[in-house]
Structure 1
């Protein structure tokens, strides 16, 4: 090959690599269907204790947050705080008014339908808490549940609803 042909091939290869890089860079941004989110955090206590691993979930009171009806959520940390996430860890929540639900799994490391709170705070339509997420950093007012009936981890795990079908545990 002649030097001019090598230069031409190298230039075309460089342009192609640049185009591919731009496509992947643009593709890594926010998806078209995602709503803008704003940082939001709060605290939760149950009967004066920290419910480590409890799930705090926000349900829109009006229109869905996006076409996929994504729900902002956070897990309670050892210090009682939770940080909301919708699309990525800690990204916050879209602006709007929400009903708050709470579920406390017996074991945060094993997803289950069991709830140490016996489902008392799981229904958005019966929620006693409403929060508004604004287009700014948001501090959710402290949620303090008193006189809650809390099952031990073992009790909550045993009370799971049996799913119809064969008993495969035998």
Structure 2
């Protein structure tokens, strides 16, 4: 269940999806444009942080970009290198919110890792959790356009209850 993913798991999932969408090519890099912004839920920065992926609307004409959403809702997109931005085009936006914290591990007497808690802890209240549709690469209603001739460094992505 996506709401049980830790920030690390959500970021890994997002980056794996982005890498799988990039595919193999001739090694030529497409120009990227600095792309950053903030994710808002009901007008406030999205609680808990998470991961964000831009999935090209036309799979044959683009590369995915991914990033980490910080606790204050801000994000910076990456395509080839950390923080380099996104290629130009139109994208469906996938957002994974971190709502749970994984159990902490502490070494036991033998030096092996042992969990101090057996269950994840909820870190984002139910009323602050975004609808799951935003994490669906085919059904997320959120889209964004990265413009090669404009500023893509102040994107504001508004999420709403459904």
What TM bracket, shorter-length normalisation? Answer: 0.5 to 0.7
- 1:46 maps onto 2:60 in alignment: no
Q: Select the structure with the greater relative contact order (CA < 8 A; seq sep ≥ 6).
A: 2
Q: Report if the CA contact (8 A) 2:78-2:86 is conserved.
A: yes
Q: Which residue of 2 aligns with 1:28?
A: none
Q: Report if the CA contact (8 A) 1:65-1:71 is conserved.
A: no
Q: 1:91/1:49 Cα in 2 relative to 1: closer, same or farther (>3 Å)?
A: closer
Q: 1:106/1:74 Cα in 2 relative to 1: closer, same or farther (>3 Å)?
A: same
Q: Which residue of 2 aligns with 1:89?
A: 82
What's the CA shift for 1:79? 2.7
- 1:145 maps onto 2:159 in alignment: yes
Q: Which residue of 1 aligns with 2:147?
A: 134
| Worse-superposed segment, 52-61 or 139-148 | 139-148
Q: Report if the CA contact (8 A) 2:67-2:76 is conserved.
A: yes
1:52-71 residue CA offsets vs partner (Å, 9 max, x unmatched): 432111000114466xxx42
Q: Which residue of 2 aligns with 1:60?
A: 56
- 1:33 maps onto 2:46 in alignment: no
What's the CA shift for 1:140? 5.5
The structure with the greater share of residues assigned to strand is 2
Greater gyration radius:
1
Query: CA–CA distance in 2 between the matches of 1:34 and 1:64?
Result: 15
The partner residue of 1:77 within 45, 49, 70 is 70
What's the CA shift for 1:33? 3.4
Q: Report if the CA contact (8 A) 1:131-1:140 is conserved.
A: no
TM-score, normalization: structure 1?
Answer: 0.53
Q: 1:51/1:35 Cα in 2 relative to 1: closer, same or farther (>3 Å)?
A: farther
